[in-house]
Amino acid sequence: MVGTLSGLKGQNVVSVVDERIIHEIELTAINHRRIIMPKKAALSYDEKDLSKGHLRKLTALRKSLGDDIADKAFAEWYEKQDQPNGALSDENAELLASTLWPLVESNKLKIPKTGYVVKRGRGRVVVEPAKS
């Protein structure tokens, strides 16, 4: 270190050494933060596969919240939105389907392709043929 400092004429050697030490400490802190910081999680969606509306929602979120928070929020929302194979999203509809399906399989109940409309009346359930 003496050899590198001997060529400095007119400068305060102590301040140069202090600057170098501070610089080394800053580099160590930066490298230390890189090690500790968690890696960015892979997104659960591919932007190329998103619809136009989904892309608009994602860009709006990014503009208002920032990239990191928006990506996490959109991924969480997108997972809730995608229903595999058009599955029922209503819990009551799922309960009705699971209750009626064994009767349909045993041929005790026949549901036409046009279906039925189920309504709630005054203390009762009203079932009407669906209008086609």
pLDDT per residue as tens digits for the range 63-106 = 999 888 988 888 888 888 755 555 546 788 888 889 999 999 99
pLDDT at 131 over 60: yes
Where is 117: in which H helix or E strand? strand 116-120
State the pLDDT at residue 15.
Answer: 55
pTM higher than 0.75, yes or no?
no
Position 49 scores a pLDDT of 82
- β-strand pairing of 125-129 with 116-120: antiparallel
Report the C-alpha gap between 121 and 126 in whole angstroms: 6
Instruction: Look up residue 48 and give its DSSP letter.
Output: G
Q: Label residue 59 by pLDDT band (50, 70, 90).
A: very high
| Burial class of residue 62 in the structure, from the number of CB atoms within 10 Å of its CB (0-12 exposed, 13-18 middle, 19+ buried) | middle
pLDDT value at residue 46: 80
Structure tokens given for 13: 């050697």
Look at residue 6 and tell me whether its pLDDT is greater than 70: no
Q: Kindly list the domain boundaries of the chain, sorted by start residue.
A: 2-36, 47-82, 90-129
* 120-130 tens-digit pLDDT: 888 898 989 98
Beta bridge partners of 36: none
Dump pLDDT digits (tens) for 15-52: 555 666 666 666 565 555 555 445 555 667 788 888 89
Residue 43 or residue 61, greater confidence: 61
